Amino acid sequence: MNRGIGAWVTKRAFLQGNATAFVAGERSFTYADAERRTSQLASALVALGVRKGDRVAVLMVNSVEFLESLLACAKLGAILVPINVRLSAAEVGYILGDSGAHVLAFNGPFAGIVRDALAEPDVRVRHVVEVGDGGYEGSHAYEELLVNGSVDFSAGRVAGDDTAMLMYTSGTTGRPKGAMLTHDNLLWNAINVLGTERGLSSRDVTVTVAPMFHIGGLGVHTLPLLYVGGKNVILPSFDPVGTLGTMAEHRATVQFMVPAMWAAITQVPDFDTYDLSFLELAMGGGAPCPLPMIEFLNQRGVPFIEGFGMTETAPLVSILDAAHATSKAGTIGRVAVHVDARIVDDHDRPVSTDTVGELVVRGPNVFAGYWMRPEATGEAFRSGWFHTGDLGRMDEEGYITLVDRKKDMIISGGENVYPIEVEQVLFKHPGVLDAAIIGGHDPKWGERVVAVVVVDPSGGQAPEAEELITWCRERLAHFKCPREVHFADELPRNATGKVLKNVLREQYTGVVDGVVLR
């Protein structure tokens, strides 16, 4: 019996074969189409020598082909390796070598990166598959490969604890690690999504625009909608007007985007001319959402919730429901139905209510470990819990407030400074559009608090550094406040919306991985 996620589309084709599964531009695919095409692709991969447990890498933007590759691999028990399309050739080559990928499928525009990546050390890719008409020498054409596969492919025996994906962590420090997400991890994540207040059903429609090579774009709505038989409208990339228009055209009912995307959407000048009357739920994740943005949507009748998760948790850990989005602003809500969480000290002992410690979680959605990294896996799993590396506290009602990543915490004069707390104060200044707090070396205090600020062009006169320092000092203990403020046009972020603080530290303080370079 196939207990993998590939069986989802098989069952949906049986139950509602004529229902729309995917829409991409002018192309539309029913669940019956998806079942047929993924069986053909699975058959074609077997003909290329792919067997259960082999790795198939994809360097693709959001597309039907991305999802077909995932489902075809799932049917035969192979492991999909999604690769961030923003990586350099050397970084792509590292993932190909580290995962031991046998096959690489890619969109034509990435041919140059692919050519250089394949020349990197330890890469053992045997077959390349090109989506599009680029004519990459020696490659298999995706559509030709698929249509020549057998419709009568017989799915292999896939167990729930078999690895479905190697989802590489963002690698903001050091080399990225491949998180082994099993079929059951993805199943229980879908169940956790269904267990939220709004849930999902077969009538739901979403626009998949957050990148699927990251777990948020794939795991929040895209895969759970396949589980329940809903519709995914797929956009290859984000632009505010195009995304807003697609949401209106296809009557999106649920929508996930990272805060930077939502912020861009809400700044579209004629936002109110787009018909979003079908939108029943907006969801953010990957970074805290500013209250003004949440209120903007609430004023237009759109409930907004925030989710917290990680690559290693497939991703859902907790939800801040719409009813408490403002009253509990700054928290990540309460844990999902099938997730346990607690806050522990440095000795893995639970701490008391409202005491800062490390957030640890467990549940059937938590990954199986890091690919070929037994030491890192052992460090992450201690006392039966996955250690997230996030510092936080839990109140009496179970709401969790993250104060920061362990590695981002600033210690100044023996006092702990949690950047998120300072950033939230800066966000409330009318002249601040975006902000990040980082630690810089200080010969007297060990570290000093440094702010990097993006000015809000609609906020009138741009604030001066001293004004922002004073603003913070009126609201926070002085040791928490910035001693210097730098202004930037934008903050560097990865595809999930997280600010790349290592980049900011290097640029503004000369600190790289804790080493002072200047």
pLDDT (tens digit per residue) in 203-230: 999 999 999 998 999 999 999 999 999 9
Cβ-based neighbours of 172, under 8 Å, separated by 6 or more: 494, 498, 500, 501, 502
Q: What percent of the chain has pLDDT above 70? A: 95
Q: With the C-alpha atoms ordered 449, 452, 458, 460, is the resulting torsion angle positive or negative?
A: positive
Q: Is residue 173 very low, low, confident or very high in pLDDT (cuts 50, 70, 90)?
A: very low
Task: Specify whether domain 409-516 bears CATH 3.10.350.10.
Answer: no
SS3 287: coil
Distance CA 253, CA 218 (A): 17
Q: Residue 413 — very low, low, confident or very high, per pLDDT cuts 50/70/90?
A: low
Angle between helices 259-266 and 291-298 (to 10 degrees): 50
What percent of the chain is predicted at pLDDT more than 90?
75
Q: Are 340 and 362 in contact (CB under 8 A)?
A: yes
Three-state SS at 344: strand
The β-bridge relationship of strands 281-285 and 304-309 is: parallel
For helices 31-47 and 64-76, the axis angle rounded to 10 degrees is 60
Is the predicted pLDDT of residue 17 greater than 90, yes or no?
yes
Sequence length of the chain is 518
Which residues touch 66 (CB under 8 Å, ≥6 apart)? 58, 60, 82, 212
Helices 64-76 and 6-16 cross at an angle (nearest 10°) of 110
pLDDT at 1: 67
Going by DSSP bridges, is the β-strand pair 231-234/205-208 parallel, antiparallel, or unpaired? parallel
Q: What is the pLDDT of residues 230-266, one digit of tens each?
A: 999 999 999 999 999 999 999 999 999 988 889 889 9
Name the band, by pLDDT with cuts 50, 70 and 90, for residue 496.
Answer: low
Q: What is the CA radius of gyration of the chain?
A: 23
Residue type, 31: Y
H-assigned helices in 1-79: 6-16, 31-47, 64-76
Task: Return left, alpha or beta for 126; rule: phi > 0 is left, psi -120 to 50 is alpha, else beta.
Answer: alpha
Residue 178, classified by CB atoms within 10 Å of its CB into exposed (0-12), middle (13-18) or buried (19+), is: buried
| Residue 254 to residue 393: CA distance in whole angstroms | 30
User: Rounded CA gap, 91 and 174, in Å?
Assistant: 12
Q: How far apart are CA 42 and CA 10, in angstroms?
A: 13
**Predicted pLDDT at 476:** 82
State the CATH architecture for 23-185.
Answer: 3-Layer(aba) Sandwich (3.40)
Task: Name the nearest CA neighbour of 83 among 207, 211, 183, 175.
Answer: 211
Distance in angstroms (rounded) separating the CA atoms of residues 304 and 293: 10
Instruction: Residue 133: count other Cβ atoms within 10 Å of its Cβ.
Output: 9
Q: Where in the chain is the domain with CATH 3.40.50.12780?
A: 23-185
DSSP state of 214: S
Of residues 152 and 518, the one with the higher pLDDT is 152
Average pLDDT over residues 309-331: 93
Per-residue pLDDT tens digits for 176-189: 899 999 999 999 99
DSSP for residue 223: H
Residue ranges, CATH 3.30.300.30, the chain: 409-516
**Is the pLDDT at 475 greater than 90, yes or no?**
no
Q: What is the DSSP letter of 370?
A: B
23 - beta bridge partners? 28, 233
Q: How confident is the model at residue 72 (pLDDT cuts 50, 70, 90)?
A: very high
Judge whether 392 and 343 are in contact, CB under 8 Å. Answer: yes
- The pTM (predicted TM-score) of the whole model is 0.83
Q: Average model confidence (pLDDT) for the chain?
A: 92
Q: Quick one: pLDDT band at residue 86, thresholds 50, 70, 90?
A: confident
- 291 pLDDT band (50/70/90 cuts)? confident
Q: Extract long-range pairs of 8-16: CB within 8 Å, 24+ residues apart.
A: 8/71, 8/226, 8/227, 9/34, 9/35, 9/38, 9/71, 9/226, 10/35, 10/75, 10/155, 12/226, 12/229, 15/229, 16/202, 16/229
